[in-house]
């Protein structure tokens, strides 16, 4: 079914959580030399939400024991929320960031927002509705129970923060294709109109150094031939670009950058937990970390379907659960 390509003037846009979490962790790794209280004061600027561990649906440890080094794998849910407070609305960007110290990788795994999944107490619905129904608790539970994961932590960012986050790093480099120019310019114009910005349009394909509004526009594109599948690739491209930019922030600027960024975050992580993650990433050797991207469900195991007049992405639940677990816990690429 073809989607309406008209750009509405005041929509609640599809949002993307970016590398703000990764940037924060990396920055705090450097900030730790300033002392606990300096770090704590900065971290406390983030909005905190307590999770109920008994409601997170973490996969049974007996199932995880098939993976010898599963205790060395850290998974954190990253949500991009279509509201301005990061506590409600649908999670239209759903990425699991995996710190894999065994293989020295940072894995960014996107889950398709239209995936037809079982949401506890609500039955089958789109994956991105879980956050709207029950916030981070239910969204994490839905990822864990459907895909065999052990997520207990999350970071959420609302769409309004994206341009500010990107601009705080001085922009990022993105490769824009010819078939993307029409749509990115529609979105840039729309963002300029709503936010009162004046970001320039893209006139030629190729590598561009984009500002925050342009990066947000790029992450929204979904009407090229690849549809929503390609959109998740664009989101990961923005996330990777921001991660790489964070690696090169001068040490003298860490305090200012992290203090500015953390205000856009909603998370359950406290200072001690973030410092532990910073230490873990530091032990992996920052510049030697491989950033790897993947998307589930994968081609060949999913298809679009109309159910009661609504479009869903249906998929082979058993095969996909196995593929996700093998990839995240055993570094085995899906077949």
Q: pLDDT tens digits for 42-89?
A: 777 778 899 999 999 999 999 999 999 999 999 999 887 765 444 455
Tell me how far CA of residue 81 lies from CA of 4, 198, 333, in angstroms.
Answer: 22, 24, 29
Question: Tell me, what's the pLDDT at 163?
Answer: 80
CA dist., res. 30 & res. 261, Å (int): 15
Tokens (6 digits) for 17: 């959580």
**HSE-up of 256 (CA within 13 Å, CB side)?**
7
> Average of pLDDT values for 91-101?
85
% of the chain beyond a pLDDT of 90:
44
Q: Is the pLDDT of residue 35 over 70?
A: no
CA dist., res. 94 & res. 28, Å (int): 24
Q: Which residue has the tokens 């730790």?
A: 32
Q: What pLDDT band is residue 205 in, cutting at 50, 70 and 90?
A: very high
Q: Is the pLDDT of residue 332 over 70?
A: yes
CA dist., res. 151 & res. 24, Å (int): 19
Q: Is the pLDDT of residue 91 over 60?
A: yes
Q: What pLDDT band is residue 106 in, cutting at 50, 70 and 90?
A: confident
Q: Which residues of 112-258 form beta strands (DSSP E)? A: 116-119, 123-126, 153-158, 172-176, 206-210
CA-wise closest residue to 64 among 72, 55, 56:
72
Question: Tell me, what's the pLDDT at 21?
Answer: 52
Q: Is the pLDDT of residue 212 over 70?
A: yes
Q: Is the pLDDT of residue 9 over 60?
A: no
Q: What pLDDT band is residue 28 in, cutting at 50, 70 and 90?
A: very low
Q: DSSP 3-state assignment of 187?
A: helix
Inter-axis angle of helices 36-43 and 254-261, nearest 10: 30
CA-wise closest residue to 113 among 279, 304, 262:
304
Least confident of 59-73, 134-148, 258-272: 258-272
Question: Tell me, what's the pLDDT at 85?
Answer: 45
Tokens (6 digits) for 145: 């129970």
Q: Kindly report the number of other CB atoms within 10 A of residue 145's CB atom.
A: 18
% of the chain beyond a pLDDT of 70:
78
Element (H, E) at 77: strand 73-81
Q: Kindly report the number of other CB atoms within 10 A of residue 100's CB atom.
A: 22
Backbone torsions φ then ψ of 222, nearest 5 degrees: -140, 5
Residue ranges of domains in the chain: 20-164+250-330
Q: Which of 33-37, 117-121, 154-158, 212-216 has the highest mean pLDDT?
A: 117-121
Q: What pLDDT band is residue 328 in, cutting at 50, 70 and 90?
A: very high
* 236 contacts 19 by C-beta, under 8 angstroms: no
Tokens (6 digits) for 272: 């001690």
Q: What pLDDT band is residue 158 in, cutting at 50, 70 and 90?
A: confident
Label the pairing between strands 153-158 and 73-81.
Answer: parallel
CA dist., res. 79 & res. 94, Å (int): 5
> Average of pLDDT values for 136-140?
96
Tokens (6 digits) for 299: 């081609």
Q: What pLDDT band is residue 4 in, cutting at 50, 70 and 90?
A: very low
> Average of pLDDT values for 224-241?
76
**Residues, the chain:** 335
Question: Tell me, what's the pLDDT at 82?
Answer: 62
- Specify the higher pLDDT residue, 26 or 248: 248
Q: Which residues pair with 77 in a beta bridge?
A: 96, 154
Q: Per residue in 178-202, pLDDT tens?
A: 999 999 999 999 989 988 889 999 9
Q: Is the pLDDT of residue 140 over 60?
A: yes
Q: What pLDDT band is residue 296 in, cutting at 50, 70 and 90?
A: very high
Instruction: Kindly report the pTM of this predicted structure.
Output: 0.74
Backbone torsions φ then ψ of 32, nearest 5 degrees: -60, -25
CA dist., res. 143 & res. 96, Å (int): 9
Q: Kindly report the number of other CB atoms within 10 A of residue 70's CB atom.
A: 18
* 77 contacts 151 by C-beta, under 8 angstroms: yes
For 20-164+250-330, CATH number out of 3.40.630.190, 1.10.10.10, 3.40.50.720, 3.30.470.20 equals 3.40.630.190
Least confident of 15-19, 221-225, 233-237: 15-19
């Amino acid at each position: 079914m073809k989607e309406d390509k008209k750009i509405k003037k005041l929509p609640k846009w599809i949002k993307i959580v970016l590398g703000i979490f990764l940037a924060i962790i990396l920055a705090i790794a450097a900030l730790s030399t300033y002392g606990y209280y300096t770090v704590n004061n900065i971290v406390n600027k983030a909005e905190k939400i307590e999770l109920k561990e008994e409601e997170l649906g973490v996969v049974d440890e007996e199932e995880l024991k098939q993976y010898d080094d599963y205790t060395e794998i850290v998974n954190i849910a990253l949500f991009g929320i279509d509201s301005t407070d990061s506590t409600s609305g649908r999670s239209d960007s759903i990425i699991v960031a995996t710190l894999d110290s065994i293989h020295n990788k940072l894995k960014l795994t996107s889950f398709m927002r239209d995936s037809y999944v079982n949401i506890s107490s609500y039955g089958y619905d789109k994956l991105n509705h879980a956050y709207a129904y029950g916030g981070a608790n239910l969204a994490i539970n839905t990822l864990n129970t459907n895909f065999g994961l052990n997520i207990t932590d999350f970071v959420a960012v609302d769409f309004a923060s994206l341009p500010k986050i990107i601009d705080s790093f001085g922009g990022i480099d993105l490769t824009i294709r010819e078939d993307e120019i029409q749509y990115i310019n529609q979105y840039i114009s729309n963002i300029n109109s709503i936010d009162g910005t004046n970001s320039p349009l893209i006139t030629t394909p190729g590598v561009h150094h984009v500002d925050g509004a342009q990066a947000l526009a790029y992450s929204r594109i979904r009407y090229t031939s690849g549809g929503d599948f390609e959109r998740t690739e664009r989101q990961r491209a923005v996330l990777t670009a921001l991660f790489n930019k964070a690696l090169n922030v001068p040490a003298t600027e860490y305090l200012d950058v992290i203090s500015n960024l953390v205000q856009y975050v909603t998370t359950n992580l406290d200072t001690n937990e973030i410092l532990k993650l910073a230490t873990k990433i530091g032990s992996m050797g920052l510049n030697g970390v491989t950033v790897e991207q993947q998307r589930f469900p994968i081609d060949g195991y999913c298809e679009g379907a109309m159910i009661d007049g609504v479009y869903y992405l249906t998929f082979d639940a058993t095969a996909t659960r196995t593929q996700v677990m093998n990839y995240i816990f055993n570094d085995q690429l899906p077949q």
